[in-house]
C-alpha cells in the first residue's frame, strides 16, 4: 500500500474500537469513505470478522459429552489410586520376606507416580488419604474399587492401623497368609464404623476360631 492509504493495522484497530482519539477515528473513516481501495479492504476485513463470528456460534452437538468426560475422569482417578497403592503392596511383600530394601527403590516409584500433585493429595478424595494411612502401616493393598480399599496387614500392626483409620467403616477378618488370593470369607468378616476413644480392635478377639500360630494377618476393607 502506498503511504497515503490506511495501513491494515489501523483498520484492524478501528474494528476493535482501539482508536480512542475521536479526530483520528473520524479522519480514518473519512478516508475510507472517499478512497475506493481502502473501502474495499475495510469491507473485506469486516466480512472476514463476520465469518469468524459465524464460526464462533457453532456449539458442541454432543449432549452427553459432560457425562462421558466425567466417566473418563472417574476411571482415570481409579487408575491413579491403584498406582499410588502399588508401592504399599510392594513394600509389605518385602517386609514379609524380611528384606528392608523398601527405602532404596520403591519409594522412588511412589514419588514418580505422584509427582506434580503433591499439594492435591490432602484435598482430593478420602481414598487417597486411606491409602496413605495403609501404606504407613506395613500393609499390602490388594484392591481399590469404587466402594472400598482392600488390603492385608500383619496382625501386630492392625491395632495401630485401625486407630489411624478413625471413624471410617472397616470390615476385617483374620487370615493365615498375606497372599491376597488366599480365601477370605467376607461373609464372616467383622464390620464396624469408627472406634471409641481408647478402644483398640486388637483388644478384642477379631475372628472366632481364627486364632493360633498360623493366623498372622488381618485382611481388611476400608469403605468409602
Partner 1 sequence: MSNSDSEDIQVIDKVLAGDIEAFSVIIDKYRDKTFNYVYSQVKDYDETLDITQEIFIMTMEALASFRRESKFSTWFYSIMVNYCKNYRKKNSRYNVISINSSRGDDEYDLQLPDERENPEEEVIMNESLRIVKEEIGMLPDDYREILLLRDIQGLSYNEIAEILDISLSNVKVRIHRGREFLKNRLTARGLI
Q: What single string gives the DSSP state of each residue in 75-99?
A: HHHHHHHHHHHHHHHHHHHHHHTT-
Closer CB to Zn ion, 31 or 164, in the complex: 31
In 10 A of CB 222, how many CB atoms?
Answer: 24
200 binds partner 1 per the rule CB under 8 A: no
Q: How far is the CB of 56 from partner 1 (least distance, A)?
A: 4
Task: Report the side by side order of strands in the sheet with 169-175.
Answer: 140-144, 148-154, 217-223, 169-175, 190-193
Report, in Å, the least distance between residue 120 CB and partner 1.
Answer: 3
Binding mask 19-58 toward partner 1 (x if CB under 8 A, else -) reads: ----------------------x--xx-xxx-xxxxxx-x
| Pick 22 or 58: Cβ nearer partner 1 | 58
* Cα end-to-end distance, the chain, whole Å: 70
Q: Please report, as residue ranges, which positions from 5 to 64 form the binding site for Zn ion (by CB under 5 A).
A: 5, 35, 37-38
Distance CA 116, CA 91 (A): 23
DSSP 8-state assignment for residue 6: P
Q: How many residues bind partner 1 (CB under 8 A)?
A: 42
Binding of partner 1 by 115 (CB under 8 A): no
- Pairing between β-strand 140-144 and β-strand 169-175 as defined by DSSP bridges: unpaired
Q: Minimal distance in Å, beta carbon 82 to partner 1? A: 15
* Site residues, partner 1 (CB under 8 A): 8-9, 12-13, 16, 18, 41, 44-45, 47-49, 51-56, 58-62, 65-70, 72-74, 76-77, 116-117, 119-120, 123-126
Amino acid at each position: 500500500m502506498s503511504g497515503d492509504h490506511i495501513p491494515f493495522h489501523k483498520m484492524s484497530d478501528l474494528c476493535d474500537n482501539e482508536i480512542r482519539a475521536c479526530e483520528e477515528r473520524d479522519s480514518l473513516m473519512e478516508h475510507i469513505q472517499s478512497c475506493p481501495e481502502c473501502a474495499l479492504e475495510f469491507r473485506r476485513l469486516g466480512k472476514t470478522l463476520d465469518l469468524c463470528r459465524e464460526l464462533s456460534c457453532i456449539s458442541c452437538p454432543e449432549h452427553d459429552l459432560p457425562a462421558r468426560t466425567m466417566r473418563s475422569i472417574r476411571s482415570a482417578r481409579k487408575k491413579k489410586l491403584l498406582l499410588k497403592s502399588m508401592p504399599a503392596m510392594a513394600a509389605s511383600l518385602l517386609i514379609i520376606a524380611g528384606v528392608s530394601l523398601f527405602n532404596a527403590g520403591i519409594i522412588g516409584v511412589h514419588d514418580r507416580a505422584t509427582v506434580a500433585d503433591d499439594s492435591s493429595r490432602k484435598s482430593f478424595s478420602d481414598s487417597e488419604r486411606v491409602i496413605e494411612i495403609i501404606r504407613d502401616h506395613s500393609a499390602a493393598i490388594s484392591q481399590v474399587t469404587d466402594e472400598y480399599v482392600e488390603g492385608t496387614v500383619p496382625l501386630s500392626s492392625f491395632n495401630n492401623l485401625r486407630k489411624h483409620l478413625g471413624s471410617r467403616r472397616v470390615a476385617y477378618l483374620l487370615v493365615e497368609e498375606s497372599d491376597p488370593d488366599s480365601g477370605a470369607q467376607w461373609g464372616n468378616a467383622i464390620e464396624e464404623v469408627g472406634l471409641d476413644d481408647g478402644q483398640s480392635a486388637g483388644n478384642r478377639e477379631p475372628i472366632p476360631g481364627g486364632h493360633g500360630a498360623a493366623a498372622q494377618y488381618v485382611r481388611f476393607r476400608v469403605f468409602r
